[in-house]
Structure 1
Amino acid sequence: MFVRAHAALYRATGGRLGGRMAGIRQILLTTTGRRSGQPRTIPLAGTPDGDAVVLVASNGGAAHDPAWFLNLVADPHVTVQRGHEVLPMVARVAEGEERVRLWGLVTAANPGYERYRGRTSRTIPVVVCAPDPTRST
């Protein structure tokens, strides 16, 4: 219920309300449900990296990946709303040195991710959403 209300408020105000939680910048990520084929929108912390947006599939340190992550693995074509901007993007999981660099970037913006990492034995995926040149808004 809270997620739907947050997303609706964000959309209605272009992120003016719901665009920050605890001082952390929020975006709206829309994926395609891997089972339903329906659009699924969730507010998430989004860290800018050039023209890309970096997301962390922490799931609060749970033992399993969040549903939104499983959805974008199944179909990497996503939409990111950043304020009033609605951007078609392609998501991919960062690996190696890029992941290390981006983990530093996101934990500088949101130190809580380090706590989440301590709660789980899984490697928390770091996702890069980059502009999709094959789609337009």
Structure 2
Amino acid sequence: MPAGVRLVQKVSSTRVFARIAPHVVPAMDRAVHRLTRGRVLLSAQMLPGVVLTVPGARSGQPRTTPLACMPQPGEGGKDGWILVGSNFGRPGHPAWTANLLAHPEAAVINWKGRDIPVRARLLSGEERAGVWEAALRFWPPYAAYQARIDREIRLFRLDPLEGCDGPV
């Protein structure tokens, strides 16, 4: 693993990062994504990323959030994505997770400049446990995030709706 990645992982595991990052990282991602017409997501230089748009749980208004993701193989050649509701190790669940719970079939992700309608599914039980282990290998700071909080970090699998392609 390159030294730069290890440094970013170490820094992102800190409480200071958890206080600052939620205000800075998404704003920078949104601005760069908009300026490049969906071609560049700044945080995706370190981790794969999507821009999730889903109606708000209460308002019903479209809510757009840049997020790290884990591209995942699916059944029958249909690939998908895993989203981790870590909220940088802060106490509450991130708002986008409530939005996906309220509107699991109304989500759209922008993946590498393409808009893809998806269906979201909250993972639980053995399936969640297996994906959580993969998430810890993928981005070890998730363990520090979970250790700081009492809630279980939500994991979602997003699958393309019929007729839509998954990750390429």
TM-score by length of 2: 0.72
The answer for the alignment partner of 2:44 in structure 1 is: 20
Structure 1 moving runs of 4+ over 4 Å: none
Give the percent of matched residue pairs that are identical in Structure 1 and Structure 2: 35
On the 8 A contact 1:19/1:83 being kept in 2, the answer is no
Tell me how far 1:5 sits from its aligned partner.
4.2
Is 1:62 the equivalent of 2:85?
no
Q: Which residue of 1 aligns with 2:58?
A: 35
* Structure 2: distance between partners of 1:11 and 1:101: 35
More helix by share: 2
User: How far off its partner does 1:101 sit?
Assistant: 1.5
Q: Distance in 2 between matches of 1:17 and 1:73?
A: 25
TM-score by length of 1: 0.87
Structure 1 CA distance for aligned equivalents of residues 94 and 134 of structure 2: 21
Q: Which amino acid aligns with 1:118?
A: A
Uncovered stretches (5+) of structure 2, i.e. residues with no partner: 1-22, 74-78
- Structure with the higher strand share, 1 or 2: 1
SS of aligned partner of 1:98: helix
* Match for residue 98 of structure 1 among 103, 127, 133: 127
Q: Deviations over 1:65-102 (max 9, x none)?
A: 11100111111121111111211001111111111111
Q: Alignment RMSD, CA only?
A: 2.1
Aligned equivalents of 1:72, 1:40: Cα separation in 2: 10
User: What residue is the counterpart of 2:71 in the other structure?
Assistant: 48
Is residue 80 of structure 1 aligned with residue 109 of structure 2? Answer: yes
SS of the residue 2:42 aligns to: coil
Q: Tell me how many residue pairs correspond in the alignment.
A: 135
The answer on whether the counterparts of 2:29 and 2:43 sit within 8 Å (CA) in structure 1 is no
Give 1:63 deviation, angstroms. 2.0
Match among 113, 117, 121 for residue 146 of structure 2: 117
State the structure with more CA Rg: 2
Matched-pair contact (CA < 8 Å) for 2:32–2:42: yes
Distance 1:125 1:27, change over 3 A: same
Distance 2:43 2:145 in 1: 22
In 1, are the aligned partners of 2:28 and 2:42 still within 8 Å (CA)? no
1:18 is matched by which residue type in structure 2?
L
